[in-house]
Chains A and B, each alone.
Chain A
Amino acid sequence: MSKKEWPLWEIFIRGQHGLNHRHVGSLHAPDAEMAINNARDVYTRRKEGVSIWVVPSSAITASSPSEKGPLFDPAEDKVYRHPTFYDIPDEVGHM
């Protein structure tokens, strides 16, 4: 009998109404429905969530660590994107 490994699933939980789903971890399951059942048991035993998303790990494409510089460093010298860059006198109120 051939032995088939179950695929890996990434699990996202919405903690409360209105919030984004957040990645909480991963688990193995034979299909999406079982992945949700398992995620409920593994990640929401203390009512940590109101909604679960499962995504096959193989469907995720990640940026590679070596690209960190080219991807994120250019934002470093653009301080003018932050409100604090501008001197606005307190008298004119919050802006």
Chain B
Amino acid sequence: MYAQMIKSESSNDDPQALAEFQARIDRGERIEPKEWMPEGYRKTLIRQIGQHAHSEIVGQLPEGNWITRAPTLERKQILLAKVQDEAGHGLYLYSACETLGVTRDELFEKLHSGAMKYSSIFNYPTLTWADMGAIGWLVDGAAIMNQVPLQRTSYGPYARAMVRICKEESFHQRQGYSIMMKMAQGTPAQKEMAQDALNRFWYPSLMMFGPSDAESVHSTQNMAWKIKINTNDELRQRFVNETVPQAEYLGLTVPDEHLRWNDDKQGYDFSEPDWDEFFEVLKGNGPCNEERLGARRKAWDDGQWFREGLSAYADKQATRRTAAE
């Protein structure tokens, strides 16, 4: 997902306190910043919310690639507004993460050094305009699957950030699908571009949910803490069930010869993505890892003089105010 394979940290806390904490979560109470929480819960959340925030920010890059080349002024405005929303999502999440006792600069530093990850999906290139359609439809669609249940997560600031984000995601998915509709109903060449985008983004989108974690101890702990609500397989299945009819409506073919409706489970059977590829991308060997991280580092370094300028101006204003008093 936007946060993939979150390892849960163990806690050496007092068993009595841990039991009371778990009871609060089981009652559906929200944990708020200044309240006691196990060290493992705090650290795991920093990793998860931080990775989620990084994904929103890095996720602007593949789409930003097409802003200047959008086919119409209207599409340009829409894409710009969408990418702007993603910047906002990153900021809501960084702020939520900071309530756990980590600073913004520390989080950036960990992204830039590679110590923290962002979602594997953003390491794939956006080759044609149809990719803007496929991303909104599939990538934002997959993100929605995961983010809707997270509105009920146990950590208050994270849950409230999710509520804000979910309100904005529907626009993202619909603008993407509307691009796909236009392309699929267009000339044969345009329809082929739409099919090609689906072919390239289908399996990377399935990877977003992460490998099966039904047996994972991390997943069990994170689910007990309610910072993970569904298993990866559950969400992936839901995503496939919703997306296949949407592809059919477009007249496009999902690139999976084993895709079949299974009446018994009331869902589709489908092929797993190539998990070796997934782990390679996580390790930094995807098609665009270097480019993405390079762009983030450059933006940070190039902005240094500007951030310093704003701080200097604020200091000067403050001195003036005290002098006037």
Contacts and interface: CB of A to CB of B under 8 A. Distances in A.
Given A17-B30, A18-B30, A80 B78 contact: yes
* Main secondary structure on B side of the interface with A: helix
Contacts of B81: 78, 80-81
Interface in A45-94: 51, 78, 80-83, 85-89, 91-93
Contact of B246 (A82, A87, A93): A93
Interface residues of A, number: 19
A76 to B, nearest CB: 13
A54 to B, nearest CB: 14
A80 B175 CA distance: 9
Interface in B170-196: 170-171, 173-175, 177-178, 181
A92 B175 contact: no
A91 B178 CA distance: 14
Contacts, number: 55
Interface string B232-276: 000000000010011001000000000000000000000000000
A68 to B, nearest CB: 21
Contacts of A20: 160
A78 B77 CA distance: 9
Interface of A: 14, 17-18, 20, 51, 78, 80-83, 85-89, 91-93, 95
The 3 A-B pairs at the shortest CB distance, nearest first, are namely A83-B170, A18-B30, A86-B174
17 contacts: A17-B30, A17-B156, A18-B29, A18-B30, A18-B160, A20-B160, A78-B77, A80-B74, A80-B77, A80-B171, A81-B81, A81-B171, A83-B171, A86-B171, A88-B178, A91-B249, A95-B177
